[in-house]
A and B are shown apart, each in its own frame.
Chain A
Amino acid sequence: MPSTTLVVDNGSYTIKAGFAAGKTCITIPNCIARTRDKRVLIGHQLENCRDFGSAVFRRPVEKGYLVNWEAEKEIWDRTFLDSESKLKCDPRNTTLLLTEAPNAPSTLQTNCDQMVFEEYEFSAYYRCIGPTLIPWNNTSTLYSPENPPSFSPPAEAIMVVDSGFSHTHITPIINGQLWNAAVRRIDVGGKFLTNYLKEMVSTRTWNMMEETYLINQVKESVCYISTNFNEDLEKCHGMKKAANDIVVDFVLPDYNSGKGGYRRPHVPKKQPAFGSNDEQVMELSDERFSVPELLFAPQDIGLAQAGVAETIMQSLEGVPERYRSLLLANIVVVGGNANIAGFLERLEMELRPLASAESVVRIAKPDNPVTYTWKGGVALAGDKAEMKKRQVTRAEYMEYGSVWCAKKMAGEISSVPGTGSTGVVEKENRSHRKKRVED
């Protein structure tokens, strides 16, 4: 009987992982990096690195889907199997709860199942779509943090806006299940914004085309979403810099002395005193809000997609009418981009006129939008009976094969196949027969 449950939210930028019993989430960069001194850093090793100048990255998760297992295996091995890792576990006695993005190609899902059972040999496993874990959290406390309701039934319908590193998903969840027909995706995510900022800065001030890591830092520390774009833009171009409160400085890191970069209020450029002040400063003004503006207006750079607010309305078209107001009143924003200042205000401002007049628009963001999905996973893992209903054990996988396994996790089959098993399952079994003999 497996004693521990490992919850893994395998994102394209970071892996959010931890044991359900421990309740601490550990965030590990989900990438392999090569620095300019030709060191290769894998997963958590990136945290010890100081110099990310000209570093290049390889990410196993492409566009939100786990594609490259060669790279992912290196990271997982160092995270879950390395004896020095905090997340070291014995897969044979562990249940794995793993997330994936909606609408994943079925080959990738099968690959994932096969790797989990045949390479890592987890004793039981449940692969689910990340946003479906959100209702397991007590979402009602998000809307009134001062006086949380004493009794909170699980929310009937939640509209999850998951704005991550590689894309933004709008996923309505009704009665704990994903409403497949209404899932929508915008191909703008954190990476897109970082690259856009990089391009912008490189045209105007410093050439930063190779400094993806640094620009990501800059983006996280200075960018905000404007609630009055036109006015802010006029401010940045009509006013003197001294009178403009939008302009900030980002002091670039000095890799020789090991000083990191940081943001500071704008200081007008003075005559550099020779030798005394050798810091390099990047001034940012309209870049601060025109970059994340892409989340709400992807059409501005020619992408034939709508922004977050409009896409929410598109998604609602695919949902039965009686759920629409309910979903609008229960919007939860998760993912790294939810941390950009002003996201909620802007979303509410744009959504209010689009929504029908009688419906309430209520948007919330958890304290830590990055790990909120993971927390939901922990809550699900805590419900042993529910987990048992959903998971597939290794023995079942070996018996019924990967096609059955995928169907069960998609919720199409609820029990083990009876006497009249289909030809597909039979065929699948054959490939595992040899394996079973070994065991």
Chain B
Amino acid sequence: MPTIQVLPNTSTSSGANWTYSNLPPALAHTNSLPSNTPRAPRAKRTNNTENSAARQRQINSRILDLERDNYRDAVIVVGKGGVAGRSSSRNKSQNVRRILASQKTFANHLADEEALHPTPAVVHRQRVEEEDAMDLDGVLREGLANTQDLGQPLGYAASASRPSARPKRVFCEICGYWGKYKCQKCSARYCGLQCGGIHSETKCNKFYA
């Protein structure tokens, strides 16, 4: 392991309650504060943006955007005009009327389902955790899998694929090449000087948010 030591880049010396610096007065207080201040170093704070809650929100909203049907919300009202041969004069049953009038989206149904039958997902997760914790050899594990047999459906949430073991690759958001550099202000990625320029002129969140 190489050891990393921070070397002072300006000649400062400090006593108990005072510091002496050769920097110009305007900058003197920035560099010469004793290192045991409770405040976190500036560099550390900016580096965190990649995994911050704000960044995660940004990613989530982007994923939601990618799942949309239309760029703008559009309401298409279906006409009342009937189809030849459709038996529309017949009285609809109560169920049919309820289903047709329902404006629930899939998200609503999913929330209902989770509230009504929370067991499958939870049980499955517990079972997996138990199994992992026990660290069984192959034969026993197979025995356990057999007891589940076909089993109940897992439910929507539990059947989602688990996160990938591979690292995330980063791409330039302007041209699609590898995103070697990160914007200091909004942590977007770019590949070089040219794309960085385009980014800060047109897309940088901190400017045009």
Contacts and interface: CB of A to CB of B under 8 A. Distances in A.
Interface of A: 32-34, 40, 42, 56-59, 62-63, 65, 67, 69-71, 73-74, 77-78, 81-84, 88, 102-103, 105-108, 111, 114-115, 118-119, 166, 170, 177-181, 183-187, 191-192, 195-196, 199-200, 203-204, 209-210, 212, 233, 236-237, 286-287, 290, 297-307, 310-311, 314, 318-322, 431, 435
A360 to B, nearest CB: 20
Contact of A320 (B59, B92, B110, B142): B142
A290 B171 contact: yes
B117 A106 contact: yes
Contacts of A185: 156, 159-161
A431 B93 CA distance: 10
Interface stretch (B4-12, B16-24, B30-38, B61-69): B61-69
B106 A65 contact: yes
A78 B146 CA distance: 46
Interface in B163-178: 163-171, 173-178
Given A32-B78, A237-B175, A237-B177, A180 B152 contact: yes
A196 B31 CA distance: 45
A196 B71 CA distance: 12
A286 B156 CA distance: 34
B113 interface: yes
B124 interface: yes
A107 B106 CA distance: 11
B78 A119 contact: no
Interface of B is mostly: loop
Interface of B: 56, 59, 62-63, 65-72, 74, 76, 78-79, 83-86, 92-96, 99-102, 104-106, 109-110, 112-113, 116-117, 124, 138, 141-142, 145-146, 148, 150-156, 159-171, 173-178, 191, 203
B139 to A, nearest CB: 8
A321 B164 contact: no
Contacts of A209: 71
Top 8 nearest A-B pairs by Cβ distance?
A302-B59, A306-B164, A56-B74, A105-B113, A62-B106, A305-B161, A311-B161, A58-B76
Contact of A42 (B78, B152, B164, B170): B78
B145 A320 contact: yes
Contacts of B164: 297-299, 305-307, 310
Given A111-B102, A170-B161, A306-B163, 16 more contacts: A40-B76, A58-B76, A65-B106, A67-B106, A78-B83, A105-B112, A105-B156, A106-B113, A107-B112, A178-B150, A183-B153, A184-B160, A185-B156, A233-B177, A305-B161, A306-B162
B118 to A, nearest CB: 13
B160 A67 contact: no
Contacts of B153: 102-103, 180, 183
Given A181-B154, A306-B163, A314-B161, A69 B177 contact: no
Contact of A56 (B70, B78, B150): B70
B93 A192 contact: no
B105 to A, nearest CB: 7
B90 to A, nearest CB: 9
A300 B169 contact: yes
Contacts of B94: 431
B151 A306 contact: no
